[in-house]
Structure formats: structure tokens, C-alpha cells
Chains A and B, each alone.
Chain A
Amino acid sequence: MTVADVGRKAPRRPRPAPGAGRRSPLRVLGMVVVLGFTAFNLLVLYWLIAASFKTPVEIFTKPFALPVRWFQLGKPLRNFAYAWDQAGFGDAFLTTVVLVAASSAAIVLVSAPAAYALTRLGVRGSGPLTNLIAVGMGVPFQTVIIPLFIGLSTVHLTDSLFGLFLVYVALSIPFTVFLLTGFFRSLSDEMEEAAAIDGASPLRTFFAVMLPLARGGLITALILNAIGLWNETLLAIVFLQSQAHFTLARALFTFYGAAEYQSEYGGLIAGVTILVLPMLVLYLVLARRIITGLTLGSGK
């Protein structure tokens, strides 16, 4: 033990277990598919970002090359400028940010107390009521848009961002309540009981004890709703008609036909990038949280 180990070094990568490298045909096939799939996803991302700096000719004739032409002409951001100003993506971006932020916040504001009431107040019938709300996740939007459209148009809330806000908040409730009941259920009773013994009022207990404890869940709910609404298209198409109110997804949808017609492919892809990039950044920062949040709701 006392002999010094001169020149002995740990291997950089320990040898794998003898069975691990075994190549069954299925594993090889799986490996190829997995790697191909991963590479394809990265390629898609590269293509999208590269193409948003290209001219239409470059897009179609040199799809995998780096953008050149607009850089040579000294207007590298030409496509983005076009989409932002001409195609109205600038206004749509602002609209979307405000609408999504307000809606997500409102959804959590409404859903958190409901989830708390359904899980922690011990009222009989909470279970079936929770299930009833969760069933709403299975209702396709197509089932409700006609009555909603008629109803909202009678109170002049169609082609109105406030009307869409209401629809967004209401239709996101089933998923959010379901997600948050999971979080509230997983909290231990002790803190709440301790607060009760200290004589805090139930309302105070909720705000001062339970909400902070469920903070992780609330943030997850906020993010997931923000992503979902940022990308939402069908309701925006139905409920918004005038360009002044367009959200990004809605603007892109309208721009698509026009771009095809005018061969404005560069602007179109820049528009796609404007829609995708914020989500990509959010995803890069919060991937783990988003993934676990989205799968959590389905795990149990």
C-alpha cells in the first residue's frame, strides 16, 4: 500500500461491461434511426435559420449552403426587415407577447385556487369534479368554436383580442387545473397544519404557505401555457379577422398564401423564424422543466 504508483493513471473512459457493446440487429437498427433522427432535427434547425438569410434562388438551389447573397448586398437582415415591416410581423410580435403573457398569467391565477380547492380542502366530490374538468382536455376545439364564435359575436367580442383572451383562458383551464392538482396533491400536509395551528386564516395559509410551496408547479404551468398559446393557430384564425389584431401564428398563416404568390420565400422563412426562435431560446434555457412538466401531466 505504501508503494507509490508512479506513472499509473486512470483511463479516460473505463472499459464498458462486456455485454454492453453487443450488436444485436435491433440495437443497430435503433441506433441508426436514433442518430439519423437527431441529425435530421439539427439539420432542420440549421436549414431554417440559414434560409431566413437567403434569397429565394439560394433557398431552392443551394438549400444546404450558408447564405451569401444578402450579405454581399450589405443587407443581411433584409428578410427579417421585410417580414417585420411589410408583412406585419412586428406588430404581431408585440400583440402576441402581450396576449400570451396576459392569458398565461390569468390562466394560472384562475386555475391555482381551483386546483387547491379540489385537492386540499377535503370536500366530498372533489375527485369526480376533478375528473370532470380533466375530461375537457379531450374536447377538440372544433367542437366548441361555432357556438363560441356565435356567442362572442353577439357581444361584439369577435375580431377582438379581449375575446380571444377570454377563449384562451377558458380553454386552457382543464389542462392547467389537471397539472396543478398533481402539484398540490404532492405537497405534504405538515406545513399547512403548522400554519393552521399558528392560527393563520385559511386564506392566509393559501397565499403565504401553499402558493410559495407550489411555486415550481405554477411556473411550469405558466411556461407550458405560454408555449401552447404562442403556437396556437386555429382559434386565432377563427376569432381574428383584421390584420391589426393578428398574432404571429395567425399572421404567418395569412402571409403564407401571399408569399407563395409573390415568391417572397425569404420573408416567409424569416417569419417562420420569428415565430420559432423565441420558443427555441426558451427551450434552450428551460428544456428540462418544459419536458418534465409536459410529461408529468401524463405520467400518472
Chain B
Amino acid sequence: MADVSFRGATRYYAGVDRPAVDRLDLEVADGEFLVLVGPSGCGKSTTLRMLAGLEGVDEGQVWIGDRDVTALPPKDRDIAMVFQNYALYPHMTVGENIGFHLKVAKVPRDERERRVRKAATLLGLESYLDRKPARLSGGQRQRVAMGRAIVRQPQVFCMDEPLSNLDAKLRVQTRTQIASLQRRLGVTTVYVTHDQVEAMTMGDRVAVLKDGVLQQCDTPIGLFSKPANLFVAGFIGSPAMNLLPARVDGDSAVIAGHAVRLTRGQRAQLSGDEVVVGVRPEGVDVVDFDDGIPVVVDVVEELGSDQFLYCSFEQAGTGDLVEHAVTARVAGMSPNQRGAKVGLLPRREAVHLFDPVTGSRLED
């Protein structure tokens, strides 16, 4: 078992001036399940492949345990990788697939079979050992790929979107399986996904990447409750946080006539007199039109357990109507009507404030 650390790791691709991953500093503790998340093309796979040794590191270092592995070939890093497409060998049976790495490593046949069988039992694949991958379901293939990683008994698991080829229902099921398997084995895991729900439910900690730059790395709760910047605030949480531009007037921010208080410290951190007020849909209360931010309900989405209101409001000053500018989440079966004029009141403790220029969070 070992921890993993990226120390200023940077990766360029030939013919591209901007690095795909830019000076990444990231520590993964021993036995931790770390999820890398971010939009497509943000450098998640590149990061993982640097860790696996499939991609060179142009600047900085990658450490596993107390070894600098930056220049080590993949086989010497004691890692196992689960690929998005599983990378199963189509001409080998499930058993041969799971045992392939052991065979290459010249593990004696008896021990190999024992370990393959053990991994297969763990994953419920015993009865498929003699089948070829083409005759397995998507979920079974995914488990074979997991088996091939487990059987190596590595120090680190690298997983690159291992669930993205499964249908929605199976994905939810497999997600919990993988998470519990990882807890049981206690192997340090770096897991890549672009699905923020997956990230929040599986990870001990989640690292958010954008354009090759690490935005924030924190526990799911930390990310949710204290997003470090506008990008993380908008990316984490579904439906997304409402981000409302406002003008600072004295010690409060004013949105369509409604005032939100700023602390003195927050005021001092601001670079201008504009601020972005962020509030999650569940952090607003619906009140009378005059008591909160005055809005018009455009759409009512009734889910039974919850109800989502998509509302527009008039931009202060210009008077333009901003459609679907605010989303509110209220109790299911609430008597809200399309076209109703209501007021939205952000709860004091649910308000996040951001600097519109730098994008970063204003601490209390």
C-alpha cells in the first residue's frame, strides 16, 4: 500500500502549446479513493496515464510511496489500470484475461490459477472463466477488467471512466460495488470520471480539473459546501447552483432590488464593486413577491418528492428579462403555478459569494 503524489506534474502533447495538465500538485493518501472529475478534455485521462506511466511527464514528478516513479516504466510502478473500454483480449477466455498479467510476470501456473479463481470468486465470475469476452454482457466485461486489476495485488488502482460504457441502472449498481470493493481491499485508487454524481458518491476526496489546472481537491461535502471558485460551484451539484451577478452597495449585494449582506472581510476581498451571489436551488425559500428577489415562474417541474421552479427575473438597471435565471427546489406537490409572481429568498447560511473577476470564493 502506498500514497501517491503529483508534484508539479506537467504534460504537453506534440504540437499543442498549452499543457494538457499544468503543474499539478495532488496528494492521495494511502488507501484513499480519489476521484478526478472535470469536463471533457480537461486532462483527467492524461493525469491518470502519467501516474500509470503510459504518458511521459514533461515537468515535475510523480511519486508512489517513497519512490519517484517519474522515469519508471509502467510495469515497475506496481499499479493496475482499468480502461474505459476494458481492454479485454478478445481471443482469450475470461480466465486467461484475468491471469494475463501474472503469466507475463512468470507467476507459476498453480499460484496463477489460485489467484485468478480467488479474484473471479470475489467478482462473481466463477462460472464464466472459460468464456470469451464477446459472449459476456457489458457488466460482466467490466468485472473482468476489475478482476484483471485486482489479481495483480497492486499498490495503486488507476481507473479511467470504467463505468461509462454501462447503462444508467447498471452504472449505479456497479458504482457501489466498486466503492465497497475498494474499501475492502484498501488499495489506493485514482478514479477518473466526468460524471459529478459518480464523483460525489464514490470518492473519499474529489479533485476537480479544468483545462489542465486543478481547481479544488476536497471531500465531497467540502466541495459542495465550500466551492473554491465559480467553476467548481457551477460544476458540482445537480441542478447547478444559481449564480447571480449583483452590484455591491455599501455592505450588501443587491439583486433585483433585494439585498444580500456581505461581511466586512468579504467586502475587503472584492476587487471591484461587482459580486456573484451563488445559492443552490435547495437554499432558497419561496416567499411573497415583495419579500425576496422578485421573479416569474417559467416552468414547474414536479418530481413528486421534489418540485423544481425555473424562474426569470428582471435584470436590475437594464430591465431585461433573464429567463430561467434561477432554479428553486421546494417540497413536492407545492401549489406553485406557471406564470406566478413570487419572491425568492436565499437562506443566509446557503449563500456563497464569488469575485466575478478572479472567480474565487470570498471567505467569511
Contact = CB atoms under 8 A, between A and B. Distances in A.
A2 interface: yes
A18 B14 contact: no
Contact of B53 (A9, A13, A17): A17
B173 to A, nearest CB: 35
Contacts of B74: 17-19
Interface in A189-229: none
B36 to A, nearest CB: 18
Given A18-B73, A19-B53, A2 B358 contact: yes
A18 B358 CA distance: 37
Given A2-B358, A18-B53, A18-B56, A13 B73 contact: no
B54 interface: yes
Contacts of A13: 14
B139 interface: no
Contacts of A14: 11-14, 56, 58
Interface string B206-226: 000000010000000000000
A13 B13 CA distance: 8
Nearest to B57: A15
A-side binding surface: helix, strand, loop or mixed? loop
A17 B14 contact: no
A29 interface: no
A11 interface: yes
B57 to A, nearest CB: 7
A14, A16, A20, A22: residue with the most chain B Cβ atoms closer than 10 Å: A14
A20 B72 CA distance: 11
A71 B185 CA distance: 80
A27 to B, nearest CB: 13
Contacts of B75: 19
Nearest to B75: A19
A74 B16 CA distance: 53
A170 B359 CA distance: 75
A123 to B, nearest CB: 33
Nearest to B18: A10
Interface string B52-63: 011111100000
Interface in B8-59: 11-14, 16-19, 53-58
A19 to B, nearest CB: 4
Nearest to B229: A1
B154 to A, nearest CB: 16
Interface in B58-117: 58, 70-75
B19 A17 contact: no
B53 A10 contact: no
Interface string A16-38: 11111010000000000000000
A45 B264 CA distance: 81
A1 B213 contact: yes
Contacts of B56: 14-18, 20
Nearest to A16: B56
A22 B57 contact: no
Contacts of B17: 9-10
Chain A interface size, as a band, is 10 to 19
Given A17-B56, A18-B53, A18-B56, A10 B73 contact: no
B12 A18 contact: no
Contact of A17 (B13, B16, B54): B54
Contacts, number: 42
B112 to A, nearest CB: 23
Nearest to B74: A19
A1, A13, A20: residue with the most chain B Cβ atoms closer than 10 Å: A1
Contact of A19 (B19, B73, B359): B73
Contacts of B70: 18
A15 B58 contact: yes
A106 B309 CA distance: 72
Contacts of A17: 53-56, 74
A14 B11 CA distance: 8
Contact of B58 (A1, A11, A18, A19): A11
Interface string B137-174: 00000000000000000000000000000000000000
Given A2-B358, A11-B58, A18 B72 contact: yes
Nearest to B14: A14
A15 B74 CA distance: 15
A5 to B, nearest CB: 9
A18 B71 contact: yes
A10 B213 CA distance: 16
Contacts of B54: 17, 19
A19 B77 CA distance: 11
A16 B54 CA distance: 9
A10 B59 CA distance: 10
Contacts of A2: 358
Contacts of A22: 73
A14 B46 CA distance: 13
Contacts of A20: 56
A9 B358 CA distance: 24
A2 B14 CA distance: 25
Contact of A10 (B16, B57, B71): B16
A15 B55 CA distance: 8
A10 B358 contact: no
B236 to A, nearest CB: 18
Nearest to A12: B14
B72 A10 contact: no
B207 to A, nearest CB: 16
B130 to A, nearest CB: 30
Contacts of B359: 1
4 closest Cβ pairs, A-B complex: A15-B56, A19-B73, A14-B12, A10-B17
21 contacts: A1-B358, A1-B359, A2-B358, A10-B12, A11-B58, A14-B14, A14-B56, A14-B58, A15-B56, A15-B57, A16-B56, A17-B54, A17-B55, A17-B74, A18-B56, A18-B73, A18-B74, A19-B53, A19-B54, A19-B75, A20-B56
Given A1-B358, A11-B12, A18-B74, 5 more contacts: A1-B213, A2-B358, A14-B14, A15-B57, A18-B73
